[in-house]
A and B are shown apart, each in its own frame.
Chain A
Amino acid sequence: AQSVTQLGSHVSVSEGALVLLRCNYSSSVPPYLFWYVQYPNQGLQLLLKYTTGATLVKGINGFEAEFKKSETSFHLTKPSAHMSDAAEYFCAVSPYDKIIFGKGTRLHILP
């Protein structure tokens, strides 16, 4: 069965510091992987996705993620955190016609 595990339900980083949000997946078929972001009182919006090809994927707002098949990971990074990055982030895997979300990681930015 396909699943997604996000390590850490809450992550705090200082403004200007590196952001690292961890995601591991389980999939019996080559996965399609996503990161979505949810700002307060809003729906989810796509940050980036991996389908095939280059394993380092760049998304919006300076975020990027690297697909590592050997580690079954798809961690999200941003070199320098900004206050506007405070939100909840969801990793997701889509093996077939459904998309399976992780439980989310809330990112807090400290001034």
Chain B
Amino acid sequence: NAGVTQTPKFQVLKTGQSMTLQCAQDMNHEYMSWYRQDPGMGLRLIHYSVGAGITDQGEVPNGYNVSRSTTEDFPLRLLSAAPSQTSVYFCASSRGTAPGDEQFFGPGTRLTVL
């Protein structure tokens, strides 16, 4: 199993550009989520999905879109990048939505917006 994979590893954007961060998992997990990690802020939930076709907002959803057309993939779209979106982005998945389910994290995408 590859687990949770993310592409790209690094990305530099100019303000106003759009892009998609890719996330895929091969564990047949129902639950997938996106976090951003900023120094001193821990991980903050952006969007999550409890299954194909179902998404919901997390703590900091503004400026980001998601969709879940398949169980495996959960892309995160930046519509018009802003410097405040400079961060490290992590995708995670878990078997289900039960509170005790372990989340498996991807290696992260480091995004810089100039």
**Measuring CB to CB, which residues of chain A are less than 8 angstroms from any residue of chain B?**
9, 31-32, 34, 41-46, 49, 51, 90, 94-99, 101-104
Contacts and interface: CB of A to CB of B under 8 A. Distances in A.
A9 to B, nearest CB: 7
Contacts of B31: 97
B100 A103 contact: no
A102 B105 contact: no
Contacts of A49: 100, 102
Interface of B: 4, 31, 35, 40-45, 48, 50, 58, 90, 92, 97, 99-103, 105-108
A9 B40 contact: yes
A32 B100 contact: yes
User: Could you tell me the dominant secondary structure of chain A's interface residues?
Assistant: loop
30 contacts: A31-B99, A32-B99, A32-B100, A34-B102, A42-B107, A43-B90, A43-B92, A43-B105, A43-B106, A43-B108, A44-B43, A44-B90, A44-B92, A44-B103, A45-B105, A51-B100, A90-B42, A94-B100, A95-B99, A97-B97, A98-B45, A98-B48, A98-B58, A99-B103, A101-B35, A101-B44, A102-B42, A103-B41, A103-B42, A104-B42
